[in-house]
């Protein structure tokens, strides 16, 4: 493997947008452990939570700011002087994009564009754009998404991520801007906001409440432990080739209903807690990722088995009840009711 593309890492500085969210905060923890000098830039929307960064206060710099606001991005970049930017900040929940799509275009497309432009002006040496496999749309029963699969998003969330990918690619091509795009499958693990499938089911099961499963529960997703994704991001920062797209996944396809069954079994709860609710519109049937390129070119592979990862995740939610209780109030309850209750 050529090392021509490596960035100088003597005093590695990272500027992490969305670092107070789920994947971002797990990544920041890993970055600090690896000796990176980290600045987190996060607007602290409903999904951002300073408790996700608890214990790191003395070891990172944090700026509350919006990626749509060019001046605050510029000032923060000046202060941080990072080698690399890792861009997680986004509106990230498909269901919310169906209820209120506009903010998804504002944050994910315009916000990414503002950030890109500021990073270009600042001469950033590496920009990691955190995209998603959802940009490819839905698969039939067979086949895998490769980096060459056409972009065919179905939800407003996926469309906004696909649009942001295109803006990033245009910067790489037009300005030779050193951007790398990562398209990852569904993540799970500690600190995931309880609106997402796995934490929602764990928490509902723990409370002996109904577990709402969309449609027939047969939708398939490819799940990766958040720490494995973190290690893929470090490979991209340190060895990735600018302008390239890398798919990231762990060959771990599960039907939603089978994940729910597994969680219930692990938690010794009855399957009768499951209730099937009206499917969401345009619910993609199957995502599955071919990640052979990142394995071959960057020597990365996922290391956490699903059985181990899911046990660790359940254990984390059971020992961090106050974390999710603090979140599941006001705005969250309103969203939950709007999203699930009327569909019964």
Ligand X SMILES: NC(=O)c1ccc[n+]([C@@H]2O[C@H](COP(=O)([O-])OP(=O)(O)OC[C@H]3O[C@@H](n4cnc5c(N)ncnc54)[C@H](O)[C@@H]3O)[C@@H](O)[C@H]2O)c1
Token pair of 205 as six digits: 């099961």
- Please provide the DSSP assignment of 281-327 as one string: TT---B--B--HHHHHHH-------HHHHHHHHHHHHHH-HHHHHHH
| Contact with ligand X (CB under 6 A) among 67, 109, 211, 263 | 67
- The catalytic residues are 133-134, 157
Q: What is the C-alpha to C-alpha distance for residues 151 and 191, in angstroms, rounded to an integer? A: 29
Cβ 256 to ligand X, closest distance in Å?
A: 14
Pinpoint the alpha helices (H) of 176-225.
197-206
Q: Which stretch binds ligand X (CB under 6 A): 42-50, 206-214, 276-284, 310-318?
A: 42-50
Radius of gyration for the chain, computed over Cα atoms and rounded to the nearest angstrom:
19
Contact between 112 and 181 under an 8 Å Cβ cutoff? The reply is: no
Output 132 or 149, the one with its CB closest to ligand X: 132
Beta strand 84-87 with 60-64 is: unpaired
Q: What is the smallest separation between the CB atom of 221 and ligand X, expressed in angstroms?
A: 9
Nearer to ligand X, 37 or 247 (CB): 247
In whole angstroms, the minimum distance from the beta carbon of 189 to ligand X comes to 10
Q: Which stretch binds ligand X (CB under 6 A): 40-48, 143-151, 235-243, 282-290?
A: 40-48
Determine the interface stretch with ligand X among 30-38, 138-146, 183-191, 207-215 (rule: CB under 6 A).
183-191
- Number of residue whose CB is nearest ligand X: 21
By CB under 6 A, residue 88 contacts ligand X? yes
90 binds ligand X (CB under 6 A): yes
Compute CA distances 338 → 24, 135, 190, 207, 283, whole Å.
27, 26, 26, 20, 18
**Shortest Å distance, C-beta 184 to ligand X:** 4
For residues 135 and 146, give the distance between their C-alpha atoms in angstroms, rounded to a whole number: 12
Can you give the binding site for ligand X, defined by CB under 6 A?
Answer: 17-18, 20-24, 42-45, 47-48, 66-68, 88-90, 92, 107, 111, 130, 132, 161, 184, 186-187, 193
């Amino acid at each position: 493997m050529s090392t021509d593309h490596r960035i100088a890492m003597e005093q590695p500085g990272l500027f992490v947008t969305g670092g107070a969210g789920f994947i971002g905060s797990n990544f920041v923890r890993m970055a600090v452990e690896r000796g990176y000098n980290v600045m987190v830039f996060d607007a602290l929307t409903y999904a951002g939570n300073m408790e996700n960064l608890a214990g790191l206060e003395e070891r990172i710099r944090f700026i509350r700011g919006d990626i749509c606001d060019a001046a605050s991005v510029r000032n923060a970049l000046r202060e941080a002087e990072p080698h690399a930017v890792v861009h997680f900040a986004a509106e990230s929940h498909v269901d919310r994009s169906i209820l209120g799509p506009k903010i998804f275009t504002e944050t994910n497309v315009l916000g990414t564009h503002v950030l890109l432009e500021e990073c270009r002006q600042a001469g950033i040496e590496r920009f990691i754009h955190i995209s998603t496999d959802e940009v490819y749309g839905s698969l039939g029963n067979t086949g895998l998404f490769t980096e060459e699969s056409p972009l065919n998003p179905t939800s407003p969330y996926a469309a906004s991520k696909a649009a942001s990918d295109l803006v990033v690619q245009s910067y790489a091509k037009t300005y030779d801007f050193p951007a790398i795009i990562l398209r990852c499958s569904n993540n799970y693990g500690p600190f995931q906001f309880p609106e997402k499938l796995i934490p929602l089911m764990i928490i509902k099961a723990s409370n002996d409440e109904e577990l709402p499963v969309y449609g027939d529960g047969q939708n398939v997703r490819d799940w990766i432990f958040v720490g494995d994704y973190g290690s893929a991001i470090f490979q991209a920062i340190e060895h990735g080739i600018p302008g390239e797209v890398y798919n990231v996944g762990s060959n771990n396809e599960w039907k939603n209903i089978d994940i729910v069954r597994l969680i219930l079994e692990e938690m010794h709860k009855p399957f009768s807690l499951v209730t099937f609710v009206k499917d969401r519109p345009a619910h993609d049937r199957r995502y599955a990722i071919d990640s052979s390129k990142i394995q071959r070119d960057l020597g990365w592979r996922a290391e956490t088995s699903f059985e181990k990862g899911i046990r660790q995740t359940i254990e984390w939610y059971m020992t961090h009840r106050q974390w999710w209780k603090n979140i599941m109030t006001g705005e969250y309850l309103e969203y939950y009711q709007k999203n699930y209750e009327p569909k019964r």
